[in-house]
Chains A and B, each alone.
Chain A
């Protein structure tokens, strides 16, 4: 089977089958990172550019490692070193990069729709690594993958996404992903950080964290950015932590097999206390680990690769 799309811009318009196909393909890539020589030749000879207009350590490193382990040639461009500071438009930057015959572009940008904008301009596949508050599809895919590894299936689970939903691309992509695969999603946070008409996304809304975590299977904590304080979304970090920070006290009411997730980077002591982040329910580092496999799968599928099933002699076709 092949992935029929040319870009990965978001999860909103993917079908459940397409999401499951990416997750199945991801499974086959997990073991590569467990080998002594962590490299396969499936993207050999292809050039992938990681174009990052926003600072990122985790996502960029994860993509870069995924590309390298698939034997692609990679170039990282960050906003500080690009022409953006010289006033070049996004379109020109992208076309110039493409003129150097690249095979795939991974882009992170602060403007919603930026990845789609580039996908419309460029002929090579574009992977959205986060566009403003819009989508961050590979993050949601790795979250789904992690939950699937832990629970076997997404269907019927109840997921709480907690924190700054308004500004979160991770929340949006996860809402699409989890609901498409049959989970129930509750978004929880102060009303100031819940987007207007959020119900239209197919989620429930809660302002009460303690009550929300009582019967959920997954608690996904989002990073709270301190800049939000300046815009008066909440009165103080202290009060935010008290109401919406996850600590061991609040966690007492949770299910005994609850899974705690966080897309990182953590604000220890703000949205999550260190003992919870490092505690037995936390899968935060597994998310990072599986992120690699998921990104390998996405890169592979968008390069036109076929996935022939886990039991096939040759799982992946060479590029």
Chain B
């Protein structure tokens, strides 16, 4: 089967490409880019649209196994394509955690059955995510895990973190680190600052993140291993990563859309949709993150999609769980508030959402080079729409952008040469 994408603006940073033209897909692979006519092929008109390597969300939480009421691997994979992602990586903090060969295979099997976005498991660093002993990292990676992480539960023990970094370097994979000094963040429920003082809520100081980032950078340098810092949220963290990169350390980092556009002012109404970890920071930090994005200090944008049941979010702020969903809003929010506001170019946007995540996780996607898997996202950067969580594919509704008017939306998604999303509809899948 052949698909011909006609007249799109093809943006592929992996081959330094930004030009108008056509993309031919044949037998699940990219066959050719250029000015192409092919009568046998299914036509996809991309006039006025951007055609780029399939977007990759390298940080999501699917709640299967354990909390299938909040999200399953299948619903998460469908939410991904509805948001323009052809691939997602899912974190290990399920119940039980994704650990070793068994857990990894479970995710891959479920993902295959879903026939939506590709789902790459991230396996646990420590047994049961308890932070006490190493999990079977090698078996997990051999079974298909793309990285390891105890995300959500930072590894307190510096010696264990050191061992994890050392050990995973056998396989050339990074540790995705949730950097937080738990003693310092204590019982905090929001960013520590003026707003937490007014509201009388326990704060999480920016330093809780920065101290942990500093530790992990030092351990990465010590062990000559790869460290990827998850959901960067502070100006101090930006400075530490900038400095480490300048010195040539093998560190990368990601930022979420919500940390780029929302501040702790959103918490003033005690809206639990705004409760997330790391917390929404003050304007100074948001400005620093946006600057860092512009300067190229940040490698990836990831949603940190964290589904939660309605009833768990619908209670007192202090009791509600941390987390917000983002698979179906990330492209729109980044397009509207980062790209259209002139912080980054279209090319950078594709780098942050596809090229770099693929490189960090060692995936064979994130490119439109001839012969690579035909994972393609086609989006309209000018299409305006209103965020309506009740319409989401995700099983959860804890979205902080409800009612927002956004500019930029996915039009067509192709995974392994199969059109899975077209004109707002998911095609096939289960």
Contacts and interface: CB of A to CB of B under 8 A. Distances in A.
Interface of A: 12, 89-91, 109-114, 116-117, 131-135, 167, 169, 172, 195-198, 200-201
B321 to A, nearest CB: 14
27 contacts: A89-B315, A90-B316, A91-B315, A110-B318, A111-B316, A111-B317, A111-B319, A112-B199, A112-B318, A113-B201, A113-B316, A114-B316, A116-B270, A117-B270, A117-B315, A132-B201, A135-B200, A167-B200, A169-B200, A172-B198, A196-B193, A196-B194, A197-B193, A197-B197, A200-B198, A201-B197, A201-B198
User: B196, B198, B314 — which one has the most chain A CB atoms within 10 A of its CB?
Assistant: B198
Interface string B361-386: 00000000000000000000000000
Given A112-B270, A196-B192, A117 B316 contact: yes
A167 B201 CA distance: 9
B314 A91 contact: yes
B203 interface: yes
User: A109, A110, A112, A196 — which one has the most chain B CB atoms within 10 A of its CB?
Assistant: A112
Interface residues of B, number: 20
B40 interface: no
Contacts of B199: 112-113, 134
Interface in B185-219: 192-194, 196-201, 203, 205
Nearest to A198: B197
Smallest CB-CB A-B distances: 9 pairs: A133-B200, A113-B270, A111-B316, A134-B200, A195-B197, A200-B194, A197-B194, A111-B318, A112-B200
Contact of A196 (B197, B316, B319): B197
Contacts of A111: 316-319
Interface in B19-35: none
Given A112-B199, A134-B201, A197-B197, 13 more contacts: A89-B311, A89-B315, A90-B315, A111-B317, A112-B200, A112-B318, A113-B316, A114-B316, A116-B270, A117-B315, A117-B316, A133-B200, A197-B194
Contacts of B203: 196
Contacts of B311: 89
Contacts of A114: 316
A116 B269 CA distance: 8
B264 to A, nearest CB: 11
B198 A113 contact: no
Contacts of B198: 12, 172, 200-201
Nearest to A132: B200
A110 B187 CA distance: 14
A196 B200 contact: no
A139 to B, nearest CB: 14
